C-alpha cells in the first residue's frame, strides 16, 4: 500500500538530500519507500520486486544506506515524538509471565555415559 499524501508530508523532510554522492539520478524517495513497504508487506524476495518500483538492487541499496547512515532511526524517533506530542500514541505495556520448560538436554543436564555406567564409572576410575 503506497504512502498517503499526509504520511509523505511527515516523512519527506526527514529524508536525506536527493542528490546522490556519485553517478546518475536517484529514483524518487517516495517510490523507494513504497517499494520497501511492498517488499516487507508481501514477504517477497527482493528479486521479485515489481518493475514499477525500478531495479530491486537500487531499492535495496537505498534501504541499506539509510540504515547505515541513521536515516531510519532518525525518521522513527521523530515520528514517534510527533505522535506522542499529539497524543496519538497509546503506550500500553504488556507483561507475560508464562514459563516454558526446556527439555533436559536443552537445559544442560548431565549426560549419561554411553555404556550405561553413569557417574559411578567416572568416580571409581579416579579412586
Q: Measure the CA angle with vertex 104, ends 95 and 116; round to 5°.
A: 175
Mean pLDDT of 15-33: 77
pLDDT for the residue numbered 94: 76
Q: How many Cβ atoms are within 10 Å of 112's Cβ, its own excluded?
A: 10
For the cut 80, the answer to whether the pLDDT of residue 120 exceeds it is no
Q: What count of other Cβ atoms lies within 10 Å of the Cβ of residue 35?
A: 25
Q: What is the mean pLDDT of the chain?
A: 81
Q: Which residue has the higher pLDDT, 25 or 37?
A: 37
Give the DSSP H or E segment for 71.
Answer: helix 71-85
Q: Give this prediction's pTM.
A: 0.65
The 10s digit of each residue's pLDDT in 48-102 is 999 999 899 999 999 999 999 999 999 999 999 998 888 888 877 777 767 767 6
Distance between CA 119 and CA 125 in Å, rounded? 10
Amino acid at each position: 500500500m503506497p504512502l498517503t499524501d499526509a504520511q509523505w508530508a511527515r516523512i519527506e523532510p526527514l529524508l536525506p538530500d536527493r542528490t546522490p554522492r556519485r553517478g546518475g539520478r536517484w529514483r524518487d524517495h517516495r517510490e523507494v519507500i513504497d517499494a520497501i513497504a511492498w517488499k516487507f508487506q508481501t514477504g517477497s524476495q527482493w528479486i521479485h520486486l515489481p518493475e514499477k518500483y525500478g531495479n530491486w538492487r537500487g531499492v535495496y541499496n537505498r534501504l541499506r544506506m539509510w540504515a547505515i547512515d541513521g536515516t531510519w532511526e532518525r525518521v522513527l524517533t521523530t515520528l514517534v515524538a510527533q505522535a506522542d506530542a499529539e497524543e496519538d500514541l497509546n503506550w500500553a505495556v504488556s507483561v507475560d509471565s508464562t514459563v516454558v520448560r526446556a527439555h533436559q538436554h536443552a537445559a544442560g543436564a548431565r549426560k549419561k555415559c554411553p555404556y550405561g555406567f553413569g557417574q559411578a564409572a567416572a568416580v571409581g576410575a579416579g579412586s
